Amino acid sequence: MSPEQLTKVQSTIIPDGGPASLFLGRLKPGVAVRTSMFSARHGELPLRIYTPEVWSRTPRPVVVNFHGGGFVLGSARQCDWSCSIVAGELDAVVVSVDYRLAPAHRFPAAVEDCYDAFLWAAGHAADLGGDPARLAVMGDSAGGNLAAVVSILARDEAGPAIAHQTLIYPVTDMTDAVQQDRSYVENVRGIVLSNADMEVFHGHYVTEDADPTDFRLSPLHAEDLSRLPAALVVVAGLDPLHDSGVRYAQALADAGNQVRVEDFHQMPHGFVSFPYFSKGARPAMDAVVASQREALY
């Protein structure tokens, strides 16, 4: 896209209901969603907050969600279906953040925004009807990268404890090593995400002077992956990122963490985002909720 086209796409608001909901999935009945703002370190950022409509006698777990889109595209609105599934079926409060997008806001802007959103959600859990002692993070694609990075930052900066991380076809390795992965080689023209797409996203997000082994870009290359939250890693067989996602899961397990991998062999990248077109979307979310429930209840 030209800079002008990219700016237009980034500023487009996905309408509630209508054809967009047929494509991205409808909000789960019994879950209310509202928009809000919070003060990040650089300024105000939008949030979408999902809460079960049924009253709860006790505080609920709080799950902080980060949307995908290559750090360049997307918004919290596109996750309405998956976030409302977690809110309704886990009986949780879900907070989803619209972090700043590249290329106007390059690395580490998204990392800073997502960590600030996590801190805000933890600090305001009680106000949201949530339990600050039961926190989780979740993200898909670029959002999976950000969820993994936030988990490491929370440990390293003595932040609020995270009990679970859901990483859905996450970006875990931004070094050239990913180009040697079998899944990368065999999915050059991948459905939804191609190798060329990945290069464009990378060019928009990563600055020339950034170290690709920085864990905030490539959590797979973190020096220490021990003492991290229990993890569910969802991968797709027809995805260039499949192998690097599996390698990250193995690295987490090797470091002594509790890890489960759900491998949807016949699915492409992004399949969870299209629940009415993808037979793997619902089983993937069933696995997500089951893993979160085990860690948070």
| Catalytic machinery residues | 141, 239, 269
Peptide bond into 108 cis (omega under 30): yes
Q: How far is CA 151 from CA 161, 222, 238, 239, 263, in A?
A: 9, 12, 27, 24, 22
Helix axes 142-156, 109-123, angle to 10 degrees: 60
- Token look-up 């499949």 returns 242
The separation between the first and the last C-alpha atoms of the chain, rounded to the nearest angstrom, is 45
- The helix/strand/coil state of 272 is helix
Reference 152, options 212, 96, 258, 225; nearest CA is: 225
Strands (E), the chain: 31-39, 44-52, 60-66, 93-97, 130-140, 164-168, 230-238, 259-268
- CA dihedral 256→260→261→262, nearest 10 degrees, is 180
Reference 288, options 275, 277, 22; nearest CA is: 275
For residue 16, what are its two tokens?
A: 């509630």
